[in-house]
C-alpha cells in the first residue's frame, strides 16, 4: 500500500551461533532457489549453522520440521515453498493445512519462520522470492532467528499449561 512504512527489526545477537534447518519444497525450482538463497544470506549474518532438506511439496514441509523438532538438535527452522492458485480448491487445502500445521508446531515450541509463498501467479511468486526484491526467504529466516532469540531469553525450563499455582483463596 502506498504510504505504508515497514519496520525491520535488527538481527538478534547470539553468543553461540544457532543451528537452523531449512526445509524447502522445490516444486517450482527457480522460486525455491531464490527463497533458499535469501534465507541463507540472512542466516550467514549471524554465523548460523545451516542444514537443508528438500521435500516433495508444501504439505510435507511441516511434517519434516515436526520430525526434526522431535528427533534432532536444531534451534530453529525455516519453511520454504510456493503454492500458486490453480483452478481447483487444492490451493486452499494446501495453503490452509500447511500453515495450520506450522502454526501448531510453533505453539508447541518450534521456532519457525514461515516462508511458504501463497500467490495468485508465477509472476507474484518471482517478486516475493527474489532476494533483491521482497526476499520472503530472508524474511522467514529473520523471523526464525527472532523466535530463537526469544526462546533463549525466556530460558529452557518447561512447565505444563495451567501448572502455575494460584495465590490467595476465593
Hey, which residues are catalytic here?
Answer: 90
| Contact between 81 and 116 (Cβ < 8 Å) | yes
Q: How far apart are CA 64 and CA 53, in angstroms?
A: 8
Q: How far apart are CA 2 and CA 112, in angstroms?
A: 30
Q: How far apart are CA 165 and CA 170, in angstroms?
A: 13
At 166, list the grid cell. 494460584
Amino acid at each position: 500500500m502506498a504510504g505504508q512504512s515497514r519496520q525491520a527489526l535488527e538481527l538478534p545477537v547470539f553468543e553461540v551461533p544457532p543451528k537452523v534447518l531449512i526445509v524447502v519444497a522445490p516444486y517450482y525450482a527457480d522460486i525455491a532457489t531464490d527463497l533458499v538463497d535469501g534465507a541463507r544470506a540472512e542466516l550467514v549474518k549471524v554465523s548460523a549453522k545451516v542444514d537443508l532438506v528438500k521435500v516433495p511439496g508444501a504439505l510435507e514441509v511441516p511434517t519434516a520440521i515436526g520430525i526434526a523438532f522431535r528427533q534432532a538438535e536444531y534451534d530453529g527452522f525455516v519453511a520454504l515453498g510456493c503454492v500458486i492458485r490453480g483452478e481447483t480448491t487444492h490451493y486452499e487445502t494446501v495453503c490452509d493445512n500447511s500453515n495450520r500445521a506450522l502454526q501448531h508446531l510453533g505453539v508447541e515450541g518450534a521456532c519457525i519462520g514461515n516462508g511458504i509463498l501463497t500467490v495468485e501467479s508465477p509472476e507474484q511468486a518471482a517478486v516475493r522470492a527474489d532476494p533483491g526484491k521482497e526476499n520472503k526467504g530472508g524474511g522467514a529466516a529473520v523471523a526464525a532467528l527472532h523466535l530463537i532469540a526469544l526462546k533463549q531469553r525466556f530460558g529452557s525450563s518447561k512447565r505444563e499449561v495451567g501448572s502455575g499455582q494460584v495465590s490467595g483463596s476465593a
